[in-house]
Amino acid sequence: MKYAICVGDGMADFPIPELNGMTPLEYAKTPGMDSIAASGYVGRVQTVPDGLPPGSDVANMSLLGYDARRYYQGRAPIEAASMGIALKTNETAFRCNLVTLQNGKMADYSAGHIETGVARELIEELQEKLGNGRTRFYSGVSYRHLMVVAGVPTGKLDCTPPHDISGKTWREYVPRGAGGDELLSIMDRARAVLAESEINRRLIDKGKLPATDIWLWGQGRAIELPSMMDRYGLTGSVISAVDLVQGLGVLAGLSVRKVTGATGYLGTNYAGKVEAARRSLQEQDFVFIHIEAPDETSHEGSLNKKIQAIEEFDSNIVAEILKLKNEFKDLRILALPDHATPVSLKTHHAMPVPFTVCGPAVKHGDANAYSEKAAAGKPFITAESLFETFIKGTFK
């Protein structure tokens, strides 16, 4: 058996009046996922356990079959694993977004989807001017970076993801609780550094948004996960543009196949990801392919771009993975979102999401298309149960 999971981050949504009451997933042209539904099974899955935040960290950990209630510590330590950052026992990792704050509001949680090379220069400048024996900055992809701090007090610390407060007054959402004052001090000092940066001046001269600030959130200390080999006897890979999913792969003992030109947005190198998936299935048992664009466009509140992102995911990833059934006769394919990101909310939602699966031992269900409507009314299962069934069981 071979296994492929195709994740369109944030695809699920609410019915939208402009689409005559359809969701973006129902409205979009998705012949690939519809083909899976017609030849296989459609169901519903709860990817976010009760009581945990509906983030991609929790949801993708769950989709890989791990009990997030047991293992989840925060987003940043997962990304640290991807970046090869070994956290000491007294160190806390924080996600460090480059953002644009204007007129007292969170104008852009991604600083205009800042280019990775430009962002790296800014993070290196912050490390040079603010880094010390306790605090270190690490550059990632686009606006997504990390800060590691030693000796942050233990206790309740509330940090809000910046994509949750687009257009809102940012002062109401700064870190609060144990260590919050120190984090706010670092954010204030970073603002001063970025205000004087020649790199930001160049961005402004080009008519682009400057990265005015850093935003700290997603904190946690080092975590460990049992490997996929130990749990299921599987070898495999993850393919994603974002450090979060790559970090989950590292922690699960999977290979991380990096693809040149993978951007985490519309127009990413889809062909490169499919080829990486094909090589993974040639050499290993399992591949987890993650596409970020539906989530990013949802955070922007752009309905048209979200529909475009879903259609790009379907035609460039799902349909191409389906073609691999000609090469791998015993290939089982699962397609789904990790969570919902309703365009109207511009942030994540914990509601159950639809999945569709086809391949060996998957009996045909009663759906001929894939959407929230096709899965409506079906009892939902946990993501852990879905993964277990996907690997070992029978869908019927």
Count the Cβ atoms, other than its own, within 10 Å of residue 254: 24
Dihedral of the alpha carbons of 29, 35, 37, 41, in degrees to the nearest 10 = -160
Q: What is the pLDDT of residue 396?
A: 64
Q: What is the pLDDT of residue 153?
A: 87
3-state DSSP assignment of residue 125: helix
Q: Quick check: 76 and 136 in contact, CB under 8 A?
A: no
Q: What is the pLDDT of residue 393?
A: 79
Q: What is the pLDDT of residue 394?
A: 75
CATH 3.40.720.10 domain locations along the chain: 2-72+224-392
Tokens of 342: 């309703």
CA distances from 339 to 41, 62, 295, 383 (A): 19, 11, 9, 11
Q: Which fold has domain 2-72+224-392?
A: Alkaline Phosphatase, subunit A (3.40.720)
Q: How far is CA 291 from the centre of its chain?
A: 8
3-state DSSP assignment of residue 86: coil
Q: What is the pLDDT of residue 363?
A: 86
Tokens of 50: 């009760």
| CA–CA–CA angle 19, 21, 22 (5° rounding) | 65
Question: Residue 356 forms beta bridges with which residues?
Answer: 42, 335
Q: What is the pLDDT of residue 366?
A: 86
Q: What is the pLDDT of residue 285?
A: 97
pLDDT averaged per 10 residues, the chain (length 396): 98 98 98 97 96 95 97 94 94 97 97 96 98 95 95 90 94 96 97 98 97 97 95 97 94 96 94 98 98 96 98 98 96 98 96 96 90 94 95 79
Question: In which region does residue 164 sit, left (phi positive, over 0), alpha (psi from -120 to 50) or beta (all else)?
Answer: alpha
> What is the Cα–Cα distance from 205 to 211, expressed in whole angstroms?
13
